[in-house]
């Protein structure tokens, strides 16, 4: 018998088969018929074993190797056929070849050729004779079904969405609770003319004197905050400072707002409270009679306590407010405005200075002339409250005193100041007096008269008006 190692010295030494039975009683064709397992083994080892079947049963991967052992397989096929009919071997060789023989002829050659099919007998490459066994390839891994893969992807995507959603949620939450958000809400309320909401957001306390801190007054204002830009936000501990640039009346006003941390919202997010900003103030000086009623932003100041006579100071939100005086037949004041710029600033005082109307001027002239006429009708040498008099140095008793105007004085009426309109003489008046003198000792009488005319001036103040006209108070 020829040793396979002798025919192909390049191949590793193959373990020789057990002693051969008598070649006279060969089993040609019986081996494959009686042992199906033997056929599978022979097919799988056609590439590596000289005991296999025809090399044509080998896979494409090992066609070259099978070619090397083609002659060996031919030689041993005859010997294989000689195992068939011997009673000594009977069915036993078949069982050994198909079952036990697999261990003898399958495992040993495999170990020498570097293959390790022992653990792969029951797997697809050995059972199907794929030919991948001799090449040392691992059996194919079971592929994941499309449905399973979809489930994994969907689960992973859901988890990713949850994580991303959580991150985004926290980011959005922080953004919605940032200090500047409260400042924006406050300024938005001012833009819309909602004074009450703005005051609520800032926690500003309002008293009865704050007549401008109402929706009606603020909506009537012009030059309010029409826009803004949020600048830098600085946080230090529980305090935050937000810079903003306001657009008011076409001008830019830089402003800072202070906020205080007051706890947490939804456990994670800081809550910030806007500290009430110091409001700007407007001042209105009313130069008018006591009965005059001033209005600011359409609101009268009747019930507001002045800080000085005729002077009022009011807190106001950013804006421009109309300042006017109540209507009167006797006097008027030119309307003006006052502007509260931003926060924490004092506006230039707005002054309401009254002037006489034509009716008021006429009333004043009538009142002064009535005073002069009253003095001219006096029957005393020194009429009380009049700007002229004559002393009696004769010792006689005067009676029937008569005053006569040689010249009536003229006068001017000044601007309202110090509680009234000043009346000053422009020209001097002149008066003459006549009377009857009686001698107390004898009872004799005779004419009396002023030797020289009496000059006088007129002056005083028109303090106000009543339904009858102006009230003139002469100088004492």
Three-state secondary structure of 303-341 = CCCCCECCEEEEEECCEEEEEEECCCCCEEECCEEEEEC
Give the residue among 225, 419, 429 at the shortest CA–CA distance from 310: 419
What average pLDDT score do residues 201-214 get?
A: 94
Phi, psi of 97, rounded to the nearest 5 degrees: -70, -40
Between residues 335 and 176, the one the model is more confident about: 335
What average pLDDT score do residues 41-48 get?
A: 38
Cα–Cα distance measured from residue 285 to residue 294, given in angstroms and rounded to the nearest whole number: 9
Residue 47's pLDDT is 39
Give me the sign of the Cα torsion angle 175, 177, 180, 185: positive
- List, in sequence order, every beta strand (DSSP E) within 326-419: 331-333, 336-340, 350-356, 397-407, 410-417
Residue 269's pLDDT is 76
Q: Is the model's pLDDT at 126 over the cut of 80?
A: no
Give the residue among 436, 435, 433, 425 at the shortest CA–CA distance from 453: 433
What average pLDDT score do residues 137-162 get?
A: 57
pLDDT band at 175 (very low <50, low <70, confident <90, very high): low
CB 459 within 8 A of CB 425: yes
Cα–Cα distance measured from residue 61 to residue 351, given in angstroms and rounded to the nearest whole number: 110
Between residues 11 and 323, the one the model is more confident about: 323
Each residue of 270-306: b (16+ CB within 10 Å) or e? bebbbeebebbbbbbbbbbbeebebbbbebebeebee
pLDDT band at 432 (very low <50, low <70, confident <90, very high): very high
Cα–Cα distance measured from residue 300 to residue 313, given in angstroms and rounded to the nearest whole number: 13
Residue 394's pLDDT is 85
Lowest mean pLDDT, pick from 265-269, 320-324, 410-414, 428-432: 265-269
What average pLDDT score do residues 32-44 get?
A: 37
* Model confidence, pTM: 0.59
Q: Is the model's pLDDT at 333 over the cut of 90?
A: yes
CB 421 within 8 A of CB 462: yes
CB 408 within 8 A of CB 382: no
CB 447 within 8 A of CB 401: no
What average pLDDT score do residues 443-457 get?
A: 93
HSE of 199, CA atoms in CB hemisphere, 13 A: 19
CB 79 within 8 A of CB 1: yes
* Count of C-beta atoms within a 10 Å radius of residue 313: 17
pLDDT band at 264 (very low <50, low <70, confident <90, very high): confident
User: Mean of the per-residue pLDDT values for the chain?
Assistant: 75
CA distances from 263 to 170, 236, 260, 268, 458 (A): 17, 15, 9, 10, 75
What average pLDDT score do residues 258-286 get?
A: 88
Residue 355's pLDDT is 94
> Could you tell me where in the chain the CATH 2.60.40 domains are found?
280-355
Give the residue among 401, 263, 256 at the shortest CA–CA distance from 342: 256
Q: Is the model's pLDDT at 2 over the cut of 80?
A: no
What average pLDDT score do residues 42-68 get?
A: 37
CB 259 within 8 A of CB 179: yes
Between residues 167 and 324, the one the model is more confident about: 324
Helix or strand run (H / E) with residue 248: strand 239-248
* Count of C-beta atoms within a 10 Å radius of residue 325: 22
What average pLDDT score do residues 38-51 get?
A: 38
Q: At what angle do helices 195-202 and 179-191 cross, to 10 degrees?
A: 160
CB 170 within 8 A of CB 164: no
Q: Is the domain defined by 280-355 classed in CATH 2.60.40?
A: yes
Q: Is the model's pLDDT at 449 over the cut of 60?
A: yes
pLDDT band at 203 (very low <50, low <70, confident <90, very high): very high
pLDDT band at 62 (very low <50, low <70, confident <90, very high): very low
């Amino acid at each position: 018998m020829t040793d396979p190692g002798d025919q192909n010295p390049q191949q590793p030494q193959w373990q020789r088969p057990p002693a051969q039975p008598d070649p006279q009683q060969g089993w040609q064709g019986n081996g494959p018929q009686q042992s199906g397992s033997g056929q599978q083994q022979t097919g799988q080892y056609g590439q590596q074993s000289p005991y296999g079947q025809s090399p044509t049963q080998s896979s494409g991967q090992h066609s070259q190797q099978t070619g090397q052992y083609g002659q060996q397989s031919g030689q041993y096929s005859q010997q294989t056929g000689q195992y068939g009919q011997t009673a000594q071997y009977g069915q036993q060789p078949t069982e050994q070849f198909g079952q036990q023989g697999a261990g003898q002829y399958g495992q040993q050659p495999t170990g020498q050729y570097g293959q390790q099919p022992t653990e792969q007998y029951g797997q697809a490459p050995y059972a199907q004779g794929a030919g991948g066994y001799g090449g040392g390839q691992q059996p194919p891994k079971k592929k994941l079904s499309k449905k399973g893969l979809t489930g994994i992807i969907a689960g992973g995507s859901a988890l990713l969405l949850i994580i991303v959603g959580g991150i985004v949620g926290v980011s959005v939450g922080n953004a919605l609770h940032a200090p500047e958000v409260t400042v924006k809400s406050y300024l938005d309320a001012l833009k819309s003319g909602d004074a009450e909401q703005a005051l609520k957001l800032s926690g500003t306390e309002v008293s009865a004197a704050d007549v401008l801190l109402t929706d009606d007054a603020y909506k009537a204002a012009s030059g309010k905050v029409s826009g803004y830009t949020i600048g830098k936000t600085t946080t230090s501990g529980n305090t935050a400072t937000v810079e903003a640039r306001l657009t008011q009346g076409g001008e830019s006003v830089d402003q800072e707002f202070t906020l205080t941390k007051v706890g947490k919202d939804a456990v994670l997010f800081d809550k910030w409270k806007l500290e009430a900003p110091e409001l700007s103030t407007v001042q209105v000086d009313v130069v008018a009679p006591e009965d005059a009623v001033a209005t600011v932003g359409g609101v009268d100041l009747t019930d507001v306590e002045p800080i000085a006579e005729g002077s009022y100071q009011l807190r106001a939100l950013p804006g421009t407010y109309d300042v006017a005086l109540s209507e009167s037949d006797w006097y008027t004041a030119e309307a003006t405005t006052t502007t509260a710029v931003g926060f924490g600033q004092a506006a230039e005082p707005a002054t309401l200075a009254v002037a006489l109307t034509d009716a008021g001027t006429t009333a004043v002239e009538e009142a002064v002339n009535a005073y002069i006429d009253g003095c001219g009708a006096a029957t005393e040498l020194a009429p009380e409250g009049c700007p002229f008099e004559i002393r009696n140095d004769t010792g006689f008793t005067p009676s029937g005193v008569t005053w006569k105007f040689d010249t009536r004085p003229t006068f001017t009426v000044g601007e309202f100041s110090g509680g009234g309109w000043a009346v000053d003489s422009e020209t001097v008046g002149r008066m003459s007096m006549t009377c009857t003198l009686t001698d107390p000792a004898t009872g004799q009488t005779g004419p009396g008269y002023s030797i020289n005319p009496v000059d006088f001036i007129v002056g005083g103040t028109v303090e106000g008006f009543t339904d009858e006209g102006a009230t003139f108070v002469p100088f004492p």
